[in-house]
Amino acid sequence: MQTEIVLAGFGGQGILFAGQLLAYAAMDSGKEVTWIPSYGPEMRGGTANCTVIIADEEIGSPTVRNPKAVLAFNLPSLDKYEPMVIQGGVLIANQSLINRQVQRTDIVHVMIPANEIAEEIGDKRLTNMVMLGALLHKLPVLTLEAIEKTLEERLPARRKHLLGLNSQALRRGAEFAQREPAYSV
């Protein structure tokens, strides 16, 4: 049994970090995990993305064509990855930077104004945590507590003061997703 999650957006949105946080939390929870970035030249100016695979057994391919979940942080990422989500999978789309609706009707999706929520909490850089919180509500592959524990253990001392904000962002994302009806078949 394995879960594949693609995080996609543009540079500076904390895509790779959010993916690494998932990977660390998965490892700390005793699971097998692979994190792989797209490291091609498209990283400069275009979409930045990474794939995280969390599993109970040895992981084969580090990438898959049809992931179980996608976090689309901007419109180009939604355009690219919406068709890829596996049937019955989960799509979290950042409404703040996306001016269209999700077309698929055979997946669970959440349109979340992640930038605005992050700004309400006090820092736009928390967008990735809001998105992650929404994901983990719809796809409970790890608990929010597991993410928080990993943050607490692995954030360097000089960043420890950000723990509370990160935690708030995760929880606000999850709460938003909870209020959203599940658009699923």
Nearer to other proteins, 37 or 46 (CB): 37
Nearer to other proteins, 33 or 97 (CB): 33
Q: How far is the CB of 53 from other proteins (least distance, A)?
A: 10
Give the integer Cα–Cα distance in Å for 26 and 115: 26
H helix or E strand, kind and range, residue 34: strand 32-37
Q: How far is the CB of 81 from other proteins (least distance, A)?
A: 14
Q: Which is nearest to 108 in space by CA: 82, 79, 131, 132?
A: 82
Q: How far is the CB of 65 from other proteins (least distance, A)?
A: 4
Q: How far is the CB of 12 from other proteins (least distance, A)?
A: 20
Give the integer Cα–Cα distance in Å for 74 and 127: 12
Nearer to other proteins, 60 or 164 (CB): 60
Footprint of other proteins (CB under 8 A): 20, 23-24, 27, 32-37, 39-41, 58-66
Which residue has tokens 């998965």? 26
Nearer to other proteins, 61 or 143 (CB): 61
With a CB cutoff of 8 Å and minimum separation 6, the contacts of 8 are 15, 47, 48, 49, 70, 71, 72, 73, 74, 77, 80, 81
